[in-house]
Amino acid sequence: MHIINTVSDLRTVIRAWRIAGQSVAFVPTMGNLHAGHLALVNEAKKIADRVVVSIFVNPTQFGIGEDFESYPRTEHEDQAKLNAAGVDVLFQPTVSDVYEPDARTVVSVAGLSQCYCGASRPGHFDGVATVVCKLFNMVQPDIALFGLKDFQQLAVIRTMVRDLNIPVEIVGVETVREASGLAMSSRNGYLTVEEKIVAAKLYQSLCIAREAVLIGQQSYQEIEITALAFLQESGFLPDYFSVCRASDLKKAGAEDKELVLLVAARLGNTRLIDNIYLSR
């Protein structure tokens, strides 16, 4: 595995792959890698000749008071995992490699970026869209893979790629879960042993709501209210629980068939998100 820090060195390697007629898959990450990230890598290896993974803790997607400085950085462990997984290139740029000191351009996906997590974390998805757009320009992949756990993020990126005619195929990969059902996340490392047991109830709330939707005996609003009460009783401070249209994340109506249940809640000092997609 090659470890590359500059865009010029990265493009030299990718240019050689292109001349050889090889396809390139890209997995952008912020490091502190777990089995969910490695599932993206394994899927990338199945669908492309070469795999590039980036590790970059992006400052522009962290808000005031969020955990940019304390975000876990596990460089050596991450490198070992990616090398064992058969990644071709690990791209590790610095902040100055990614952002000019007087940068003025921001990519913003209107509507999708302001609801749900975007409402709780103003500017977060502008930071995500901007850095992903820049990374796409740096890596110039054929395919990019993202976890379905961050469903709103995936929706933002897909819309950006469509609207800006970026020639990258976006692939969503199923959420990897712990035995308890808790979705794997770098932020799970902030949970205490006791909190981690409680955290599994976030997924449980989604499973209960999914069954209620499929049975069809309650309105979506009633299902949301019940789920929020369940989370509060379990020890969470809920942010939102919503039954949405999968296509655009707007509130689902009775006529909608492809749905996603979105949830975000704080447990102690840790904010957790999860979702379930369903077709009815």
Catalytic residue among 2, 34, 37, 76: 37
Contact (Cβ atoms closer than 8 angstroms) between residue 37 and residue 28: no
CA distance 151 to 165: 21
Known catalytic membership, residue 2: no
Positions annotated as catalytic residues are 37
